[in-house]
Copies of this chain bind each other. A is one copy, B any other.
């Protein structure tokens, strides 16, 4: 579990020392996290309590119930159709043409974009990452009824580091439940505390990996032995809650989700907040960066602005 990190990978970004080399070894390697989880500290001021900060530090995630009202959720669901017709990028299910993900929702001025600038999200992100955050990636994940397929286990950071060039672990996802997330519809599964360990994945990155990985990920995934060991030690938790809940999870937390066998579809919005001091460098995997709709390359701090349904 505790193989020492190697020196910088021979492949990868030549201008930066790579503190988290991955996809350049023939066997999986684990190394301890080298960045803090709480970038301001356990006493940071903001909407989260000291207990919540401590839990995020320890477990790597937080469930915040009832952050958004029923009215807001209703309006957001209605607005998703509009957002889908505008500039959002569609990713289909692996075995069908049903929409799996819509990317780049933070651009534009529709409700989902404005939601992501709301203080209830931005101030939580800043309390954890430090003042000055921007959105690295945003998306809606829609799990269609019956056939909504699983998302395999992964650390977001591994991909964002290797493929997008994020240098440090100073980012998190805010997942806004637009439907109830239940044991019956493929909720997000996490391995609590796994964000303290970086698992270097085996295998190189193929060209244009993102064109396939967003439908079904096959590279940059942790090996099964590592997952089994971690799950034995730390368990697996499902992040369930009613619509309006926000789940915050750290960029290196191992997570995935099972398929949606239920007869009803399920929609969640994701906003990935990254700190402006952690703006993307050249990707550490050595390939060209992914397209802008999947990974922003310019870090401009968000000015928080309360969501107003009447605008």
Contact = CB atoms under 8 A, between A and B. Distances in A.
A95 to B, nearest CB: 13
A261 B259 CA distance: 9
A262 to B, nearest CB: 5
A261 B184 contact: no
The 6 closest A-B pairs by CB, nearest first: A183-B183, A183-B238, A231-B263, A184-B236, A258-B261, A227-B263
A256 B145 CA distance: 13
Contacts of A150: 259, 261
Nearest to A152: B261
Interface residues of A, number: 31
Contacts of A236: 182, 184-185, 262-264
B189 A232 contact: no
A129 to B, nearest CB: 28
Interface in A248-301: 256-264
Interface residues of A, dominant DSSP: loop
Contacts of A262: 189, 231, 236
Contacts of A263: 153, 224, 227-228, 230-232, 236
Nearest to A226: B263
A187 interface: yes
A242 to B, nearest CB: 13
Nearest to A184: B236
A260 B238 CA distance: 12
Given A187-B183, A236-B182, A256 B264 contact: no
A224 B261 CA distance: 11
Contact of A238 (B182, B230, B259): B182
